[in-house]
Amino acid sequence: MNENYEDNKHELLRNFILKLVLIILFILLIVWVIPKATNKSYPDIDLSAIQGRIFSDNIELMKDAATNYFTTEHLPQNVGDQATLTLQDMYDQHLLTEVTDKNGEACSVSNSYVTLTKEDDEYLMKVNLQCGEEEDYVLVHMGCYNYCSTTAICEKSSTVDSYVDNYTSNRAGGNVGDNASSGSTSATKKIKKTTTKTTIYKKVITTVKHTITNIITDVTTDGTVDPDEPNAPSDTKDYLYEYMKTTQTTTYKWGPWSDWKTYVDADGIKDITCDPKDFTCLKEVQTKKEFEKVGTYTQYYKREREESQKLSSYTAKYCKSYNYVVYGSTIYYTTGSTSGYNSTSSGSWVKSGSVQTYTNPPADSATVRYVLVGADYDDCEDTCVTTPKFKYQKYVYKYSLKKAGTYHSSTDYDLDVTCSEVATKTIPVYATVKVYDVVEREEPAYAYVKYYRTRTRTLNTSSSSDVKWSYYNDRTLLDNGYVYTGRKKEK
């Protein structure tokens, strides 16, 4: 059995080599014969028709690739929005192999492009192709019609069959539509000749392609002949071929939100909300501001009142047996000591009653002093809307003061007391002066505090396969992502 297999293998290899040699000879023969035959049969054939057809076929390839690319998520959403797909983009996404012009030169990858513009009820596709100095474009009206079976959008049915042929004819022989409508027979004749020559070339290319396909089908990927595989596709009408499309489905699950944390502007933290369809976004961020207590500070409150203060003193000859003090414009004398008159803690002053609360602090006098001991915050909350009430302890002078005269200045005064003996006295001068009594307390400090929290999501990707059986080289399936599995069955 192995010997038979080896014999068959060598025989198939010989057949393959023989066929390959015949193909090469056949191609050389075609290259030599066709120009002569066509020049004899059609002396006035315009070769630009074939060149124009190559250009239009390239535009058709770009249009088909763009139609497959513009799935629902790639479509422009709002009226006036435009999406662009360059020829380079098509290469990068493996939508097309290299597009070349009539001379075999590569077409421009940047100036060849497809734009899709959203209009009111449809889309306008512009397919622009530049190959060397040759550049042109076509406009195609697209939409999401009920007869779009394999793509998100397709052409309007009224334009599907006509625009490519019209475009090719225009490139080959001018504006055929205008010439035909005016009854020009030369345009019609030119189209017929172009069609005939194009058909010849297409038949040659199709025959060579078909022959090569038959030979390649007989050879496995490692270069050996598989004796169990029939010579496809000569019998494709008797078989159904298995196609498979694998689709990846991605789902996600969000984790719990983290605890709120504080941040400052310098941290650069911003809100992030992921689009459910954007699987590159794996983390969301939420921020907020709260007005809250951030510490304490010392708050001061003050009230104005009149307080006794020593302004100056002077010397004069007064009665030796009395002590003197000036308060305001009045000269007082006393039998007691005036050395402690300046301070309520000197022993010359005594408390009078308990501490009292005053909305408006009282004023001192010659025989009464008020000493600030605190404030009443009962009407305040965290802070005081108005100044709190102040608390004072009242003191009275424990010695009797009697009026002795009128004081104008240290050199101008009237003394009404008479005595038998005088002496030089130092007399202090007091008066009430407006001052501010101040109280303080620690109060809470409030400010806006910025917080943020995060959460992440986990992606789960699963694959599903769809299997279809169809005839050989089903372009509808192949263009929609289906691939051959290598299996086939009889119809």
Domain boundary among 234, 264, 282: 234
Rg of the chain's alpha carbons, rounded to an integer? 54
Query: Is residue 398 included in any domain, yes or no?
Result: yes
Instruction: Give Cα separations from 205 to 22, 63, 198, 200 (angstroms).
Output: 15, 23, 11, 9
Q: CA-CA distance, 220 to 213, in Å (whole number)?
A: 13
Residue 1's pLDDT is what? 43
Residues 350, 405: one domain? yes
The first and second tokens of residue 203, run together, are: 């038949």
Could you read off the pLDDT of 424-458 as tens digits, one per residue?
A: 999 999 999 999 999 999 999 999 999 999 999 99
Asked if residue 176 has pLDDT above 50, the reply is no
pLDDT tens column, 187-227: 323 333 333 444 445 555 555 555 555 554 444 444 443 43
Q: Tell me how many domains the chain contains.
A: 4
Residue 239 lies in a domain: no
Residue with tokens 């009407």: 379
The verdict on 37 and 182 lying in the same domain is: yes
Query: Are the C-beta atoms of 421 and 320 separated by less than 8 Å?
Result: yes
The CA distance from 314 to 427, in Å, is 5
Q: Is there a single domain that holds both residue 440 and residue 302?
A: yes
SS3 2: helix
Closest by CA to 15, choosing from 209, 208, 231, is 231
Residue range(s) defining the domain that contains residue 416 = 298-445
Instruction: Pick the more confident residue, 416 or 440.
Output: 440
Tokens 């074939």 correspond to: 50
Q: Are residues 415 and 316 in the same domain?
A: yes
CA distance 282 to 454: 11
**Does residue 384 sit in the same domain as residue 255?**
no
In a domain, 263, yes or no: yes
Higher pLDDT, 466 or 157: 466
359 plus 429 within the same structural domain: yes
- CB distance 203 to 197 below 8 Å: no
**Residue 459 confidence (pLDDT) above 70:** yes
Whether 338 and 486 map to the same domain: the answer is no
Residue 200 lies in a domain: yes
Question: For the segment 29-65, what is each residue's pLDDT rounded down to a tens digit?
Answer: 777 665 554 454 444 445 556 666 888 899 999 999 9
432 and 387 housed in the same domain: yes
Asked whether residue 58 is assigned to any structural domain, the reply reads no
Average pLDDT over residues 276-301: 92
> Does one domain contain both 370 and 436?
yes
Beta partners for residue 144, in sequence order: none
Cis peptide before 444 (omega within 30 of 0): no
Q: How far apart are CA 362 and CA 431, in angstroms?
A: 15
Residue 81 lies in a domain: yes
pLDDT per position as a tens digit, 109-135: 999 999 999 998 899 999 999 999 899
Question: Residues 188, 175: contact at Cβ < 8 Å?
Answer: no
Q: Which two tokens stand for residue 420?
A: 């038998």
Q: What is the pLDDT of residue 191?
A: 31
Claim to verify: residue 277 and residue 401 sit in the same structural domain: no
Domain assignment of residue 55, yes or no: no
Residue 92 domain-assigned?
yes
Q: What is the dihedral of CA 414, 365, 340, 305, to 10 degrees?
A: -130
Task: Out of 409, 427, 445, pick the residue that ends a domain.
Answer: 445
Same domain, 390 and 347: yes
Query: What pLDDT is attached to residue 4?
Result: 47
Residues 397 and 360 in one domain: yes
